[in-house]
Amino acid sequence: MYGSSPLPPVLARGSGQRLLVAVGDPDAAELLISTLELAGYRTGAAGSGAEVARRLAEYRYDLVVMDAELPGLDDLAQGGRFKPAYRPPVLLLAACESLARLVPELGAGERDYVTKPFRIAEVLARVKVLLRGVGGGDRRGGMLDHADLVLDDGACRARRGARILDLTPAEYRLLRHLLVNAEKVLSKEQISRYVWGEFRGGNAIEQLVSRLRRKVDRGGPALIHTRRGFGYWLGES
């Protein structure tokens, strides 16, 4: 059901950051905790929404890895019951259509998601990006935008002007990565590791960018550009 636990050597290790693993499935939780600790992170565990609230009140975690199906998530959404001074980034383990269920108190900060069944390499790649705190794009309440292009993380939806973009999960990840790094050139390897958690050679990136470009740039000024020999970037030329 889940990816193997050996740590891929290509992914950067952690440096002692404290991560809270909030996963109800004991096997999945054990896999995540053991792999994250091998990667250099310190971990805590929570098996319910109430336990997440309690642990976040006791410790300052740098990131929460949380299953969207965690029992008792409503405990985190009760008004006034959970107001930590610090809101950590959240990596949500969920199907794309479940993103809107992200707990409001945790969703106020930086967030990303991994679709289930998840792969360990992808989880590690997302953790690395969230902890790095990459800036870029214009962020407002879970929104990313550039010109008339808007991506709504809460609804897992993107639009160009009034036109809704019908994106696959891989296209959505690519667009998000380009928006977060707007005006910056991203190499094929950077894109591949973010989108899939591993490097994919051949024409995989070219084909993915081409599909996304047809959807995003149709009927409007081009926003996705190629820097030959270097990679791709998003912005107004």
pLDDT in tens, 196-234: 877 888 899 999 999 999 999 998 899 999 999 999 999
Question: With 70 as the cut, is the pLDDT of residue 6 above it?
Answer: no
pTM listed for this prediction: 0.54
Asked if residues 138 and 145 have their Cβ atoms less than 8 Å apart, the reply is yes
Distances (CA, A) of 147 to 176, 185, 203: 14, 18, 29
DSSP symbol at 198: S
Helices (H), 10-114: 26-38, 49-58, 74-77, 104-107
CA triple 206-129-197, angle to 5 deg: 45
Which residues, 6+ apart, have CB-to-CB distance to 143 below 8 Å?
150, 151, 152, 153
CA distances from 106 to 127, 141, 206 (A): 16, 12, 35
Specify the amino acid at residue 136: G
Q: Mean pLDDT, to the nearest integer, of 80-102?
A: 64
Name the nearest CA neighbour of 155 among 164, 123, 138: 164
Residue pair 111/3 in contact by the 8 Å Cβ criterion:
no
Helix (H, G, I), strand (E, B) or coil at 184: coil
What the chain holds in terms of domains, given with CATH numbers, is 18-132 (3.40.50.2300), 138-234 (1.10.10.10)
Count of CA atoms in the C-beta half-sphere (13 A) of 122: 18
**Which range in 52-66, 68-82, 124-138 is most confidently predicted, on average pLDDT?**
52-66
Q: What is the pLDDT of residue 12?
A: 47
pLDDT at 138: 46
Contact 194, 177 (CB under 8 A): yes
pLDDT of 79 reads 44
Average of per-residue pLDDT across 80-107 = 61
- For residue 3, the Cα-to-chain-centroid distance in whole angstroms is 17
Among 157, 153, 111, residue whose Cα is nearest residue 130: 111
